[in-house]
Amino acid sequence: MAIHSNQLEKGVPFSPYQQQAKEVESFKGRLMTLYQKVLVNYWPYWAAVIAAAILNIFWFALSGGAWGVTTEFTRWGGHLLQLLGFDVSGWLYFEQIKLEKMPWDRGSGWLIFGMLGGAFLTALIKQ
């Protein structure tokens, strides 16, 4: 049952079903607007920087370290080389960054999983 504009003009009250449909449509419209603003449209630079700063503060509070992925990418490379049979235990860089645990045992490893998973999901959503 559709909501007609002439119903509003004549002062005819909405049935409970029509009122519920109107509320659902407005919620869906607001949700789609939010989706467009957050996930589709480009953010202003200042908003993106503030969002990244807030996420970095939370990351620092939870993990005790700064938000960075370059060292973790290198660790992943070291693990990959080990899987291919190379002995990287004597390499100075891997001695310094402690190539001990697997990526899923480190918080920064989960950041990389999140980046890869987010990029994959974004590619699927943008289709």
What are the pLDDT digits (tens) for 105-118? 877 788 888 888 98
pLDDT per residue over 40-81, tens digit each? 788 889 998 999 899 889 888 887 877 777 888 888 888 899
Question: 24 and 76: one domain?
Answer: no
Per-residue pLDDT for 24 more than 70? no
Question: 120 and 78: one domain?
Answer: yes
Q: Is residue 89 part of a domain?
A: yes
Question: 36 and 79: one domain?
Answer: no
| Count of Cβ atoms closer than 10 Å to residue 91 Cβ | 14
Question: 72 and 109: one domain?
Answer: yes
* Domain, as residue range, for 19: 1-40
Q: Is residue 48 part of a domain?
A: no
Q: Is residue 47 part of a domain?
A: no
Q: Is residue 50 part of a domain?
A: no
What radius of gyration do the chain's Cα atoms show? 25
**How many structural domains comprise the chain?**
2
Q: Is residue 51 part of a domain?
A: no
Q: Is residue 45 part of a domain?
A: no
Question: 72 and 122: one domain?
Answer: yes
Verdict on whether the full-model pTM lies above 0.85:
no
Longest dimension (CA), the chain: 85
Q: Is residue 117 part of a domain?
A: yes
